[in-house]
Structure 1
Amino acid sequence: MASPPPAAPFALLLLLLVALAAAQLPAPRGSQVENPDDASLRKVFEQWNLTLPENPCGNPVFEPFPANASIDIRCNCSDLNASVGCRVTHLNVTGYRNVTFIPERLFNLTELVSLDLSNNGLSGSISPNIANLTKLELWHLNNNQLNGNIPNESSRLRNLQSLWMFDNNIDGPVPEFIANFTNLKDLRIYGMKLQGPIPNKFSNLTNLTHLMIGDLGGDDRSSNFTGVWENLSVLSMRNCGLTGEFRSPIWPNLTYLDLRSNNLSGPIEQVFRYSRTLQYLYAGENNFSGSLPPQMPPSLLALDVTYNPLLNGGLPKNSSNTMINYIGTSIAANESNHSEVFSLLNCLNMKDMKECNRKDFTNPGHFAVNCGGKEFTFSDQQTVFNDDSTDLGAARFHVNTINSWVVSHVGADPFSNSTGIVSTNKNIPGTDMADLYKTARTSTGSLWYYVVGLASGTYKIELFFAEIVIESESGRRLFNIDIQDRNIRTDFNIFDAAGGFNKATNVTHVANVTDSVLKIHLYWNGRGTCCVPRNGTYGPLVSAIRVFPYTEAQASPPPAVHTSRRNEKRRGVVAGIVALSIAAVVVSSSVVYLWWKWVSLVKHPKA
């Protein structure tokens, strides 16, 4: 009789089958499964010097965020089993100025669909390993200090729906491969060092709802890149070097169109045909010609045609329903305007600016205005800052016929109802004119102040600033300042100049007036944060302006304002020198006294 087979091989086979079956079963709920993204994510946070919770994919609780900063991590755990753990799909870290680079380990998170690293302190170039993140749908790197080109490897990100790259130092041409991102809905690239032209193939981006491109260098170019963007609601092409006539298909859902600071030409009426839903139209600083249409579209809320020298004719019959700014054109004011207003505006239109007759005005050469505030009299009783509290909306100007000056404003944030006048109740240290800095006029576009009727000569202009809106270092307000059409500040930052928030700082400049008009221009250049502490917080802010004839300004300088940390250090140095001087006097006196006592004892010893 044959002996039975040994049991050991059967037992081993049975164990192997059990192990294979167990490998196919889902992991028990609550069991620990190794997360393939965990090590990379922890290394990234370690390099950023940020604390990552123990379980970042399970409703993580982070340490309290700084003001206007946030961290959001989301994961996909639906395929959880013994071999694959939760995968990170959303990594949004914003508002951390100490986050200064993008660690290479971040590009191991290949399941990411959302990567938002906006408003940090990132510098350096974008790694070509961005090509690993092919599932990205949202990629935001705006408001950083990144440089170099947008790498060609980015062309692999064909699932992108939202790409924000504005306010960086990125240069090179506008990448043509962006035209292949046919899922793209929201594209914002401005405030950088990119070179035009905008590729013609951008017309392929038929899913766009928001397109904001601006501040392009290079030669002028046409607008042939526009396409049949039926879903487009916001189109901004400010300062793109566009030239020739602006032609495009009709966009049925367009509400906001910004064409400022280009070299576009042709009849202005043709611009109105592109949308029947248009609410804001900014066409200033171009070469449009002809006259405005006899009737404004009923949907239009604001119209800017400033500094189009070939525009003429009158205002539309229903212009009272629309905010209109037409300074710097040859458009005639309505007959209902007071003759003094009409005469003063003629000094600012492109045809008559150099022919302005100073005898029509009585401007003594002293000018002061409390920007955004009521009339303010300084304690010396000699300087009266005029009232400047008129609401200018999205495109208006105000004429002060008594003192012959004009304030002009254009600009509206397409995503918020940003206010043009701001105020604070907080203390403004370092100045004896604190109340003057507690109100300000601000703009998301451009502010002009004109002083009309000045005698030819040299004047000293003093601009007063205090950052009373942004109170977090995660926010940066940057803007340019021109006086008499010459730039005196680029990327001016009130916080840096004053040494903090709610602190006073002044900018002074000397300029010549030869045609009786002094022009001060403060304007946004696409730089700085957009949304700290809220949407629409960007562009110029000014508290007051004062102008003196230069010789008088030298003889009677305005009250000093302590404007920076440098002044504080200077005061500390002076105080230290005084203290050392006093100490030296005390020591010297003590030495003399002791010497005198010693001599007395030697010459007259006690008996």
Structure 2
Amino acid sequence: MMKPPLSSSKGLLFFYLVVLFSCSQSIDAQTNQTNATTDPSEVRALISIFQQWDLQAPDTWNISGEPCSGTALTTSFSEFEDPSNNPAIRCDCSFNASTVCHITSLRVFGLDKRGVIPDEILELPYLDFLKIDKNFFSGSLPAFIGNLSRLGLLSIAQNNFSGPIPKEIGNLKKLYLLSLGNNDLSGTLPPELGNLVELGELYINSCGLSAEIPSSFANLKEMRIVWASDNAFTGKIPDFVGNWTKLTQLRFEGNSFEGPIPSSFSNLTSLNSLRIGDIYNGSSSSLDFVRNLKNLTDLVLRNVLLTGNFPSYITELQSLQKLDLSFNNLTGQIPSTLFNMNSLIYLFLGNNSLSGSIPSQKSETLQTIDLSYNFLSGNLPSWVNSRLQLNFVANNFTLNSSNIRVLPGLECLQRSFPCFRNAPRYANFSLNCGGPAIIADGIQFEAENRTLGPAKFNVTSTQKWAVSNAGLFADRQNQQFVENNGGQVRSTNTPELYETSRISPGSLRYYGLGLENGPYTVRLFFAETGFPERTSGSWRSLARRVFDVYIQGARRLRDFDISKEAGGVQRAISRNFTTNVTANHLEIHLFWAGKGTSGTPEDGYYGPSISAISVVPNFIPTVSGIPPSNPKEKNHTALIAGVTVPVVALALILIFAIIYVKRKKEDDDEEGKRISLL
């Protein structure tokens, strides 16, 4: 056996010495940490905080009454965030020659704890991490929190805090993450927050904030993630946002911003997710700024006053997986290259003014396509099949029997709504949304429980009504479009009507077809069944579902919150509207305008919900209300008639024969009696 070279032996010896030294250092550090004790004032403060919040330290730390022990000494973030280690602290035991430990992190996550942020928190001056998300903490966010000068992370999201954001938070110069989302705050963003020059992540969605974004925020050039949806921010989206060139995620949905979207957004080349929605006022916007954003995977510019021809350069965004440009005024034709992008999975272009035909070829990747409410025409391409998610409602397509077999009922849902046009057949319809057929209050509610998806429509076999959905639940793994109620709805004599609700992340439409023209009463039935009662004290109960309702194109409910209007969850409420049918069809449109919470009780939980619909005439109908006969049913009836007539005739002949024989026998018997008497 050959001996290793001398240089190799020296290398191995050096390696063993390094390992031995490292192990010695590790043992010394562990020994020192074991000998170190937590600052007594911090122990007292922690005990007081835990008592006020009704918390108990887990066995993973606070071993033998020493807080800074066990997992409190971990350097692993995953171990610190482990669900079994909750509540959790972390300590730094390097002080006073490794004899004193200071608490540096406090985490109380998703435990539904009540209380306020107490003064004792100031007795933890070494805190650099405070995370108390998903509880039921309330009261104001105290100004003294601005004295915790070491804080790098402050997260109080999904609680019940109220009042303004204290300007003193602007003193936390080391803050790199600030999360205040899903609270009941009020007021404006303090200009002092512009001092947080190290801030990289800001979550202020669903906070109740208003007014314009302060100009001092131009200083926040380290921003990487900004979620600021569902507030009442006004004015224009600041041009300086285009200087936050490190941004990877930006969400501005459901605010009161004015257009246009700043052209400076073209500088945000690091963006992978951009979601802007619901701009109603101001100037229109162009898509030109998008051209440089080559890293985008998720682009949502929904209902933001986009105008102009659909740009072909969108196809240069080769990482794009989801594109939603719906509810704008884009014109022109759809570029054929758009449908052949290898990355694109979801495409929503509904409610624009696009014309021409649908591209004749499509990539295998593209599985969900909404082109509803445009001016597209021509034949449907050969790639159309029932396995795809397709919504082509309200266009001007030329349909043949093959198309109708694949997308049954689409012929009734073209722009002119031709089925029974000028030849009405119905004068009412009632639906149990998401559920089976039932009778409630003497009304027969038809089943409306066929599968819907992110781009799907269904037309009933009688062509009496239809339903259409467009929208994908963002950030949600489980794409369900029916809410099943596990509780008992109150304030109604017909709780069975609320066992299911149809839900949508965007646009949900119901149509009455072939209706006789005239005035109608539309009754909509609602119950919030998706989250618990506020009295439960759970963070999940802090959800808000908010949406708009349009009937015949006119908005009849704005910012409608079911639980707020009904006085709580699991309570029935209905709304009646009168409307006119003038072209033999009726449209009921439930629309999500970016408002309400979207991460409570789970990520991606938002949008319209409806339990049932009843539409009745305010006049005496002259139509039969009977569905048109099915040809197969006619043949079946003819067959039955053809068989029944000879059978009946034969039966009659047999009856007459029996009567004749019986009477003949009686006559013969009578004649026999007469002969015997002679």
Give TM class, smaller chain.
0.7 to 0.9
Partner residue, 1:464: 525
Write the distance in 2 (CA, Å) between the matches of 1:85 and 1:429. Answer: 47
Where 1:527 maps in the other structure, the secondary structure is: coil
Does residue 286 (structure 1) correspond to residue 349 (structure 2)? The answer is no
Cα distance, 1:455–1:435 mapped onto 2, change above 3 Å: same
Q: Note if contact 2:131-2:154 (Cα within 8 Å) is conserved in structure 1.
A: no
Does residue 495 (structure 1) correspond to residue 563 (structure 2)? The answer is yes
**Structure 2 counterpart of 1:483, from 551, 558, 583:** 551
Where 2:363 maps in the other structure, the secondary structure is: coil
Write the distance in 2 (CA, Å) between the matches of 1:430 and 1:258. Answer: 39
- Give 1:357-372 correspondences, 5 Å limit: 357-358=420-421, 362-363=425-426, 365-372=427-434
Write the distance in 2 (CA, Å) between the matches of 1:338 and 1:87. Answer: 66
The one-letter code sitting in structure 2 at the alignment partner of 1:536 is: G
List per-residue Cα deviations over 1:546-593 (Å, max 9, x = no partner): 01112579xxxxxxxxxxxxxxxxxxxxxxxxxxxxxxxxxxxxxxxx
Write the distance in 2 (CA, Å) between the matches of 1:191 and 1:385. Answer: 34
Write the distance in 2 (CA, Å) between the matches of 1:34 and 1:375. Answer: 60
Partner residue, 1:234: 298
Q: Report the Cα offset of residue 146 of structure 1.
A: 1.0
Q: Report the Cα offset of residue 301 of structure 1.
A: 1.7
**Structure 1 counterpart of 2:611, from 531, 543, 551:** 543
Cα distance, 1:164–1:509 mapped onto 2, change above 3 Å: same
Where 1:94 maps in the other structure, the secondary structure is: coil
Where 2:356 maps in the other structure, the secondary structure is: strand
Partner residue, 1:210: 273
- Give 1:64-143 correspondences, 5 Å limit: 66=135, 87-143=150-206
Write the distance in 1 (CA, Å) between the matches of 2:95 and 2:581. Answer: 82
Q: Report the Cα offset of residue 318 of structure 1.
A: 4.2
Partner residue, 1:395: 455
Partner residue, 2:361: 295
Q: Report the Cα offset of residue 388 of structure 1.
A: 0.8
In the alignment of these two chains, the number of paired residues is: 502
Cα distance, 1:56–1:296 mapped onto 2, change above 3 Å: farther
The one-letter code sitting in structure 2 at the alignment partner of 1:548 is: V
The one-letter code sitting in structure 1 at the alignment partner of 2:414 is: N
Where 2:359 maps in the other structure, the secondary structure is: coil
Does residue 268 (structure 1) correspond to residue 334 (structure 2)? The answer is yes
Q: Report the Cα offset of residue 508 of structure 1.
A: 0.8
**Structure 1 counterpart of 2:464, from 383, 392, 404:** 404
Q: Note if contact 1:68-1:95 (Cα within 8 Å) is conserved in structure 2.
A: no
**Structure 2 counterpart of 1:376, from 426, 431, 438:** 438
Task: Provide the alpha-carbon RMSD of the alignment.
Answer: 3.1
List per-residue Cα deviations over 1:410-430 (Å, max 9, x = no partner): 110232233101101211111
Q: Note if contact 2:127-2:150 (Cα within 8 Å) is conserved in structure 1.
A: no
Deviates more, 1:90-99 or 1:477-486: 90-99
Cα distance, 1:535–1:191 mapped onto 2, change above 3 Å: same
Partner residue, 1:50: 117
Write the distance in 1 (CA, Å) between the matches of 2:183 and 2:617. Answer: 44
The one-letter code sitting in structure 2 at the alignment partner of 1:386 is: E
Q: Report the Cα offset of residue 379 of structure 1.
A: 5.5
Does residue 349 (structure 1) correspond to residue 349 (structure 2)? The answer is no
Where 1:432 maps in the other structure, the secondary structure is: coil
Partner residue, 2:213: 150
Where 1:88 maps in the other structure, the secondary structure is: coil
- Give 1:453-602 correspondences, 5 Å limit: 453-471=514-532, 472-551=540-619
**Structure 2 counterpart of 1:450, from 511, 514, 517:** 511
Write the distance in 2 (CA, Å) between the matches of 1:131 and 1:341. Answer: 54
Write the distance in 2 (CA, Å) between the matches of 1:202 and 1:62. Answer: 32
Cα distance, 1:130–1:313 mapped onto 2, change above 3 Å: same
The one-letter code sitting in structure 2 at the alignment partner of 1:246 is: F
- Give 1:251-262 correspondences, 5 Å limit: 251-262=317-328
Write the distance in 2 (CA, Å) between the matches of 1:274 and 1:206. Answer: 24
Q: Note if contact 1:358-1:516 (Cα within 8 Å) is conserved in structure 2.
A: yes
- Give 1:154-173 correspondences, 5 Å limit: 154-173=217-236
Write the distance in 2 (CA, Å) between the matches of 1:361 and 1:68. Answer: 58
Partner residue, 1:429: 490
The one-letter code sitting in structure 2 at the alignment partner of 1:348 is: L
TM-score by length of 2: 0.69
Q: Note if contact 1:116-1:140 (Cα within 8 Å) is conserved in structure 2.
A: yes
Partner residue, 1:319: 385
Q: Report the Cα offset of residue 178 of structure 1.
A: 0.8
Write the distance in 1 (CA, Å) between the matches of 2:132 and 2:308. Answer: 55
Write the distance in 1 (CA, Å) between the matches of 2:221 and 2:130. Answer: 33
Q: Note if contact 2:310-2:333 (Cα within 8 Å) is conserved in structure 1.
A: no
Q: Note if contact 2:165-2:188 (Cα within 8 Å) is conserved in structure 1.
A: no
Q: Note if contact 1:418-1:535 (Cα within 8 Å) is conserved in structure 2.
A: no
Q: Note if contact 2:127-2:151 (Cα within 8 Å) is conserved in structure 1.
A: no
The one-letter code sitting in structure 1 at the alignment partner of 2:605 is: T
The one-letter code sitting in structure 2 at the alignment partner of 1:498 is: A
TM-score by length of 1: 0.77
Q: Report the Cα offset of residue 332 of structure 1.
A: 3.5
Write the distance in 2 (CA, Å) between the matches of 1:335 and 1:361. Answer: 23
Q: Report the Cα offset of residue 340 of structure 1.
A: 13
Q: Report the Cα offset of residue 197 of structure 1.
A: 1.1
Q: Note if contact 1:206-1:227 (Cα within 8 Å) is conserved in structure 2.
A: no
The one-letter code sitting in structure 2 at the alignment partner of 1:503 is: R
Partner residue, 2:20: none
Write the distance in 1 (CA, Å) between the matches of 2:301 and 2:248. Answer: 16
Write the distance in 2 (CA, Å) between the matches of 1:299 and 1:68. Answer: 45
Write the distance in 2 (CA, Å) between the matches of 1:62 and 1:536. Answer: 22
List per-residue Cα deviations over 1:461-489 (Å, max 9, x = no partner): 00000111122442111000000000000
Identity level (%): 33
Cα distance, 1:274–1:182 mapped onto 2, change above 3 Å: farther
Where 1:112 maps in the other structure, the secondary structure is: coil
Where 1:145 maps in the other structure, the secondary structure is: coil
Cα distance, 1:64–1:453 mapped onto 2, change above 3 Å: closer
Where 1:124 maps in the other structure, the secondary structure is: coil
Write the distance in 2 (CA, Å) between the matches of 1:319 and 1:56. Answer: 63
Q: Note if contact 2:341-2:363 (Cα within 8 Å) is conserved in structure 1.
A: no
Cα distance, 1:59–1:116 mapped onto 2, change above 3 Å: closer
Write the distance in 2 (CA, Å) between the matches of 1:58 and 1:211. Answer: 33
The one-letter code sitting in structure 2 at the alignment partner of 1:288 is: L
Q: Report the Cα offset of residue 366 of structure 1.
A: 2.1
Where 2:216 maps in the other structure, the secondary structure is: helix
Q: Report the Cα offset of residue 510 of structure 1.
A: 0.4
**Structure 2 counterpart of 1:414, from 474, 477, 489:** 474
Cα distance, 1:34–1:395 mapped onto 2, change above 3 Å: closer
Q: Note if contact 1:142-1:168 (Cα within 8 Å) is conserved in structure 2.
A: yes
Where 1:511 maps in the other structure, the secondary structure is: strand
- Give 1:21-40 correspondences, 5 Å limit: 27-31=96-100
5+ residue gaps, structure 1:
1-24, 39-47, 70-83, 554-607
Write the distance in 2 (CA, Å) between the matches of 1:455 and 1:103. Answer: 60
